[in-house]
Amino acid sequence: MTSTTAPALPIAKLEAMFAANRAAGKKALAPFVTAGDPDADTTVAVLETLDQAGASLCELGVPYSDPIADGAVIQASYTRALGKGFTLAGLFDVAKRASAGCSMPILAMASYSLIFRRGIDRFVEDAVAAGLAGFVVPDLPLEESDDLDAACRKAGLALVRLVTPTTPPERAEAIAKKSTGFLYCVSVAGVTGARTDLPPGLIERVTWLRTKTDVPILVGFGISGPEQVKAVAAVADGVIVGSALVRRVAEAAGTSREQMLADVAAYTRDLAAACG
């Protein structure tokens, strides 16, 4: 009689990463990359570079014509990708190619309208086939999330929720309890974009959220340098860096891919070192 082992659920890769970080006394570095900017092949190369340079996981931004919380840098990257005809099929192709060569988990950051329009079941099936570990859906209200939540739990995908500085405490607690994979703590009210100082009250907010959920807490929005990363990592389980990295890729448009990837690798190593 032969025994068969069930395949690991996609979220298991994320959970294993956080467990390994805890054992090593490290915090997670979670870069954000726009899929398809400047092109699909470059996105795959950037993801592989991030993985090799010490990133713990990566958020793969899905280009969307009407982003909710993204600042000018990420909006511009979405516009460039869409202008070149990047599609959801391209997203899943990039994710599949990158996940095959990366040890870090990759999550898609997507507007709910894209998921709903494609169909929740189909989007989830495509994500699993592409090797994604889950989703971050910034514009999905808690009250309207049951269908996607059920589909993600059935497929073993993480469904990361967000809390902001303006989220009322009772609602923040409810969101924290529903989040799987990790909880995304938005550091500032407003849109994404690199900033120089950490906002007041952030450390206290993360400390409070930690009493409301067992999942890791990652902080994002406005984090761009090693000193900020170090400060956030002192209290949170990880940091999310988006606009500063997207800008680096965009500004390297006139250089060689090799030079851009070398810059991304050096930047990532500096941030990873600040995570412990």
Catalytic residues: 59, 70
- How many Cβ atoms sit within 10 Å of the Cβ of residue 79? 14
CB 163 within 8 A of CB 186: yes
Q: Using only C-alpha atoms, what is the Rg of the chain?
A: 17
Of 140, 87, 160, residue with least CA distance to 118: 87
The residue type found at 219 is V
What are the distances in angstroms from CA 171 to CA 14, 139, 161, 166, 176? 25, 15, 12, 10, 8
What 3 state SS string does 8-75 have? CCHHHHHHHHHHHHHHHCCCEEEEEEECCCCCHHHHHHHHHHHHHHCCCCEEEECCCCCCCCCCHHHH
CB 44 within 8 A of CB 97: yes
The pair of three-digit structure tokens given for residue 178, joined into one six-digit string = 């529903």
